[in-house]
Amino acid sequence: MHLSWPGGPLRGTAQLPASKSEANRALILQALAGGGTVSNLSDAHDTQLMRRLLAAAPSTAVLDAEDAGTVMRFLTAYLAITGWRGQLTGTARMQERPIAVLVSALRQAGARITYLKKEGFPPLEFAGLIAADTGGPGETEMRGDISSQYISALLMLSPYQPGGLRLRLTGPVGSRPYIDMTLALMRRFGADWMVEGDTIRVGPTPYQPTDYTVEADWSAASYWYSLVALAPAGSEITLPGLREQSLQGDQAIGSLMAHFGVQTTFLPDGIHLRQVPLPADNEQLFFDFTNCPDLAQTVAVVAATLAIPVEMTGLESLRIKETDRIAALQTELAKFGGNLREVGAGRFRVESTGFTVDKQMVDTYHDHRMAMAFAPLALRGPLTIAAPLVVKKSYPRFWKELAQAGFTTREAE
């Protein structure tokens, strides 16, 4: 996809997809509850894939989660607790993403799951449930610094374990907003739980059929923050469908982007973004992405473009996403004069010298967030995005929204 900007301020209204984080949790809870309506589902691939696989599970012996991490992990828990028999697989990259922590916990709960290839990784074979021999709550420990998707998957099925679940999280807890989102949605569907320090106790109260409307996606909004930050002076954009009281941790993009000259104003239904002068105290910024790792690529690109040094921590989970996002960022930023270098254990620094956009090709690594994080650079010069269709995973209309906002978009022959 060749991208360029004709000049002048960026203005208008952009439509966001619904949150796939909320939607995929709500779809699992709806299936466990046996009823209710989940509305405002987007056409994002991950959401539609989850919907299709849940509908197909009762009569299908092989399910393919493709490259969707939440689908693989949430379905693993759902299929285990429902006693499903069959195989759950995914793409070659998915078969490199670990799942042993979740499978181990599910086996403790009575699930019969075996690895079909490499120990600790998909594909998986399910052979039903072993009857539990206790009426008390199940007890398990899980490291808090692993993917929050493991923790969320285990929590969502816990009301259907005999006696519920007592889950103790050990060590630092990463991506806590995603765990909080899971718990909040569980309560919406009727679950009974309480948090005591590092322990989450979930009672054996089944979910009730519930209607739920999914909020627009703050992760997708992050790219419009980036666009406003890099656009000419006077730029502004309106994003409908976002809530000030959000369940999504990526709402943190508002406070992060304030450092790059983007002001957020909440509206009755959405937000308004406006470019303002850069703060005077931007000589050195320190951001921890432990609770919002999906924002790291967006912030790194903006910081490099504006030549604002930023030190970043909390990037550990980026190594096991759709690609190794740290390595991908390092490679692609270097094409423009940017640099992401490790300056200590778990600490990275974004810098740039002579950052220039002039017809470079951005490789996307089968990663939707790489494509969308780098697309705003077209405001500074023409560029080409390789494999633009990767955005279908979370924001299928992204290129159409850019075109409606005034970008020149042309598919490469």
- Which of these three, 193, 213, 233, is where a domain ends? 213
Amino acid 135: pLDDT: 54
Q: Could you say which of 46, 67, 250, 294 is catalytic?
A: 294
Structural domain containing residue 12: 2-16+216-410
* pLDDT above 80 for 337: yes
User: Strands across the sheet with 383-385, in order?
Assistant: 360-362, 383-385, 2-4, 408-410
In a shared domain, residues 229 and 378: yes
Express each pLDDT in 231-254 by its tens digit: 999 999 999 999 999 999 999 999
Domain shared by 47 and 65, yes or no: yes
pLDDT in tens, 134-179: 556 788 999 888 888 999 999 999 999 888 999 999 988 877 899 9
Q: Which of 295, 403, 394 is nearest to 20 (CA)?
A: 394
Residue 200 predicted with pLDDT over 90: yes
Show the tokens assigned to 10. Answer: 């960026």
Residues in binding site for phosphoenolpyruvate: 20, 69, 97, 149, 325, 369, 393
Do 208 and 128 share a structural domain?
yes
Instruction: Tell me, yes or no, whether 327 and 377 share the same domain.
Output: yes
- Give 1's DSSP letter: -
Q: Are 177 and 237 within one domain?
A: no
Beta-carbon contacts of 30 under 8 Å, excluding residues fewer than 6 positions away, are: 36, 37, 38, 189, 209, 210, 212
| Domain identity same for 209 and 258 | no
Residue 198 bears catalytic tag: no
- Known binding-site residue numbers for 3-phosphoshikimate: 20-21, 25, 147-149, 175, 294, 321
Structurally, the chain folds into a number of domains equal to: 2
Q: Minimal CA–CA distance to 25: which of 82, 58, 73?
A: 73
pLDDT one-digit tens code per residue, 129-138: 876 555 567 8
| Domain harbouring 199, CATH code | 3.65.10.10
Under the phi-then-psi rule, with left for phi > 0, alpha for psi from -120 to 50, and beta for the rest, what region is 147?
A: beta
Phi, psi of 191 (to 5 degrees): -70, 155
Distance (Å, rounded) from C-alpha 210 to C-alpha 204?
A: 18
Average of per-residue pLDDT across 306-328? 86
Cα–Cα–Cα angle for 409, 411, 412, nearest 5°?
Answer: 125
Q: Return the structure tokens found at 116.
A: 């079909």
User: Is the peptide bond preceding residue 123 cis, with omega within 30 degrees of 0?
Assistant: yes
75 and 195 both lie in a single domain? yes
